[in-house]
Amino acid sequence: MITRAVRGGPEDIFIGDVNYDGYNDITTANRYSDTISILRWDNISGDWDPRITFAVGKYPYSVFIEDADNNGYNDIVTANYGSNTVSIFLWKPYTLQVEIFEDFYSFEHFNFTFLVRNNLRRRVETAIFQLWWNGTDVSSAVQNHGNGYYFVSLEPITVALGEDPIILNMTISASGYEVLYYETFIAIDPDTLSGGNDPQIFGYNIITLVGVACVITLLILKKRFR
């Protein structure tokens, strides 16, 4: 048997997915402390996270998890015997964040590893990418490497001085999150790639920036100081 502490006077209990991550959690209505306790299941650690406590109305007798406002996300409601009220906690979806964790450029491949986390910095392992490289759908090239890492190898497109950088844009979705749109502009000067004789140093001679103006400015500066 496993025991977990909650707040004073647990009167009712309900198991349901309170944070819409696909895993059921435990919620109790705590009659004598006018609170609910939530134990969220953490599938990475294989245990429940420490309890979260929320104040509700007086003498909560029952708690229930269901989508109360019909937006597709579960909410938590309690019936409060002592105050003739219900307390309603509406679920607010987490937001996704993505960053380029690693990149590598050569004449054969442009390789990227993206790290996907939520706004609580927790890694998201169930993200689905829609990815366009220079306007071409390359979504099927994205590989899920686990632990929030997603790898993709793209056909190289280089950009000479004066040409526009190449857009890499994507939408990232995962259950329980609002869809995220992300884009970056990539300008790799072919001179930069051919400048190194050792392919292993290619990854260091790169220019990756967000924003067309910045990229072009830097390319010009780079040429000037050569």
- List of residues contacting Ca ion (CB under 5 A): 17, 19, 21, 23, 25, 67, 69, 71, 73, 75
CB of 10 to Ca ion, least distance (A): 19
How far, in Å, CA of 143 to CA of 152, rounded? 6
Joined together, the tokens standing for residue 157 give 């497109």
Residue in 142, 143, 124 with CA at minimum distance from that of residue 133: 142
Contacts of 7 (CB under 8 A, 6+ apart): 28, 30, 33, 35, 37, 51, 53
How far, in Å, CA of 159 to CA of 163, rounded? 6
CB of 223 to Ca ion, least distance (A): 53
Instruction: Name which of 69 and 164 has its Cβ closer to Ca ion.
Output: 69
Instruction: Name which of 19 and 33 has its Cβ closer to Ca ion.
Output: 19
Instruction: Name which of 122 and 145 has its Cβ closer to Ca ion.
Output: 122
Joined together, the tokens standing for residue 147 give 């632990």
CB of 39 to Ca ion, least distance (A): 10
Instruction: Name which of 7 and 40 has its Cβ closer to Ca ion.
Output: 40
CB of 114 to Ca ion, least distance (A): 24
CB of 49 to Ca ion, least distance (A): 10
User: Which residue type does 17 have?
Assistant: D
CB of 5 to Ca ion, least distance (A): 19
Residue in 112, 133, 113, 107 with CA at minimum distance from that of residue 188: 107
Instruction: Name which of 17 and 191 has its Cβ closer to Ca ion.
Output: 17
Joined together, the tokens standing for residue 168 give 């890499």
Identify the sign of the CA torsion 7, 10, 12, 15.
positive
Residue 12: helix, strand or coil by DSSP? Answer: strand
Instruction: Name which of 91 and 112 has its Cβ closer to Ca ion.
Output: 91
Provide the β-strand partners of residue 85.
Answer: 80
Identify the sign of the CA torsion 217, 219, 220, 221.
positive
